[in-house]
């Protein structure tokens, strides 16, 4: 497949006045040379150096199609590692299709989804985790997503994995060297205490990477925030105020919201996924009971809880409500949103609510202090604790591989602590290396590659 020369439009249709058509493969320069007429004589692509621009026109049968700029990248110094030409033409769909048709007539074929990035991976320009980050970068819709994708694409995660594999290979080589000289019991190449210390370090790094997935997944898909409270506490009104649209039905009738309503919003570059839940109360209504069950499920899955309290009501009913849901709030970041502060601002609980709760008085209906609530969400979200050089895992495939690698290194630690035979420890070490290598694509099957790249856009 890599012997084909491929072409595709790399810009989204109808997005601007210009478009870019990318041609990559062994015949890229020759094919483009056959349809390109430079403005200056003697400036054909075949004699140009890499990283140069050429101005001229694309012609069919002597008739110009468009005035264009051609960017030339010689192998291996291109995105794909192959000879690559990028044609910058006007954004007309007709012009793009005519140029593509002409390229195909001269020997190109249409690129498959993700084929440019796949060739970059196969030609060693990036590993698989970096290739996957290209798709994440294209799909990013917030500053948090962009930051993580860019860090991974530039090799932050890859370098961490390389360091781990190098340390694991060092342990493995020492263990297997002992096995080669097993007849000489007096020879010991591997100091067990040193190996245990190194294995402990590796286990800690892998564990930290695996644990970071909960943060990375939240940033990638939106930090889940559940809006919880009694019926008619103002949950749906707050959701509408946060989203700045009438997403949820608002009514004075108790039990209006009977299912979870979910939507996302970008606040200061961070994506939040807000879930408006059914009011929690005792009821015989079958449909409302199902909605309340889903509220509890949303409560369990959320990282941040906005607990709504209606300031116009008796605090004792809220205290009873809190005691019912308290076990589900353990290890959650809770914001006590005291609603209807335009009507009343008195909050005099007799029950000792947790000191670590964040408290804010709002009026969802009047949209008072909503910006302050958004600022509070940013402050307590996971993104605020991330440093520039932190490695955060965002990909489910990577997380699964890290989980398997963690299981293997745990067996290595156990084997070293119990003086297990070196051949068994060595096998677990190699399994750990295998799963880490799977992330980088060193041992990945064609089926996995196909599954990854088929979800890319054409032209990427």
The per-residue pLDDT for range 371-424, each reduced to its tens digit, is 999 999 988 876 656 665 678 888 999 999 999 999 999 999 998 888 887 778
* Weakest-pLDDT range from 69-78, 128-137, 188-197: 188-197
CB 189 within 8 A of CB 178: yes
C-beta of residue 338 within 8 angstroms of C-beta of residue 358? no
C-beta of residue 224 within 8 angstroms of C-beta of residue 304: yes
Q: By percentage, how much of the chain surpasses pLDDT 90?
A: 30
Q: Which of 95, 76, 72 has its CA nearest to residue 9?
A: 95
Residue whose entry in the numeric block shows the structure tokens 């245990």: 196
Determine the pLDDT at residue 398.
93
Encode pLDDT of 265-307 as tens digits.
888 878 888 887 655 545 444 554 465 566 667 777 778 889 8
Nearest to 107 by CA among 31, 25, 22: 31
- Count the Cβ atoms, other than its own, within 10 Å of residue 326: 12
State the DSSP string of 322-362. Answer: HHHHGGGGTT-EEEEEEE-TTT------SS---TT-EEEE-
The stretches of 187-312 forming alpha helices (DSSP H) are 192-211, 213-221, 235-243, 286-301
Question: Does residue 358 surpass a pLDDT of 70?
Answer: yes
**142-155 core/surface letters (b: 16 or more CB in 10 A; e: else):** bebbebbbebbbeb
Report the Cα–Cα distance between both ends of the chain, in Å, rounded.
Answer: 16
Paired with 227 in beta bridges are 276, 306
pLDDT at position 241 is 86
Give CA 290 to chain center in angstroms: 32
């Amino acid at each position: 497949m890599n012997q084909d020369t491929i072409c595709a439009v790399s810009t989204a249709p109808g997005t601007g006045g210009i478009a870019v058509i990318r041609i990559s493969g062994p015949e890229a320069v020759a094919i483009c040379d056959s349809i390109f007429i430079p403005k200056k004589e003697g400036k054909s692509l075949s004699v140009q150096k890499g990283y140069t621009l050429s101005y001229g026109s694309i012609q069919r049968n002597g008739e110009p199609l468009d005035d264009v700029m051609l960017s030339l990248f010689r192998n291996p110094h291109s995105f794909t590692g192959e000879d690559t030409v990028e044609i910058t033409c006007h954004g007309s769909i007709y012009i793009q299709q005519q140029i593509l048709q002409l390229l195909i007539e001269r020997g190109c074929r249409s690129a498959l989804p993700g084929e440019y990035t796949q060739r970059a991976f196969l030609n060693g320009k990036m590993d698989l985790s970096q290739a996957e980050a290209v798709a994440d970068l294209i799909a990013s819709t917030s500053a948090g997503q962009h930051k993580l994708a860019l860090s991974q694409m530039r090799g932050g995660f890859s370098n961490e994995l390389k360091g781990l594999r190098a340390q694991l290979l060092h342990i493995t080589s020492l263990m297997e060297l002992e096995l080669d000289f097993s007849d000489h019991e007096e020879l010991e190449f591997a100091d067990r205490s040193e190996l245990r210390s190194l294995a402990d370090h590796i286990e800690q790094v892998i564990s930290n990477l695996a644990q970071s997935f909960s943060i990375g997944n939240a940033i990638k898909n939106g930090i889940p925030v559940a809006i919880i409270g009694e019926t008619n506490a103002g949950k749906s009104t707050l959701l509408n105020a946060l989203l700045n649209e009438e997403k949820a039905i608002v009514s004075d009738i108790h039990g209006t919201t009977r299912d979870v309503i979910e939507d996302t919003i970008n606040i200061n570059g961070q994506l939040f996924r807000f879930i408006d839940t059914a009011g929690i109360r005792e009821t015989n209504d079958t449909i409302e009971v199902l909605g309340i069950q889903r509220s509890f499920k949303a409560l369990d899955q959320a990282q941040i809880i906005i607990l709504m309290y209606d300031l116009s009501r008796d605090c004792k009913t809220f205290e009873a409500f809190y005691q019912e849901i308290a076990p589900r709030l353990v290890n959650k970041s809770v914001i006590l949103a005291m609603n209807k502060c335009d009507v009343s601002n008195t909050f005099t609980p007799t029950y000792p609510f947790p000191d670590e709760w964040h408290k804010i008085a709002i009026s969802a209906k009047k949209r008072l202090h909503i910006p302050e609530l958004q600022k509070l969400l940013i402050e307590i979200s996971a993104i605020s604790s991330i440093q520039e050089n932190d490695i955060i895992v965002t990909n489910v495939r990577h997380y699964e591989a890290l989980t398997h690698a963690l299981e293997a290194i745990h067996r290595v630690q156990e084997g070293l602590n119990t003086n297990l035979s070196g051949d068994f420890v060595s096998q677990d070490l190699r399994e750990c290396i295998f799963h880490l290598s799977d992330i980088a694509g060193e041992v990945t099957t064609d089926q996995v590659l196909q599954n990854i790249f088929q979800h890319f856009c054409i032209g990427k």
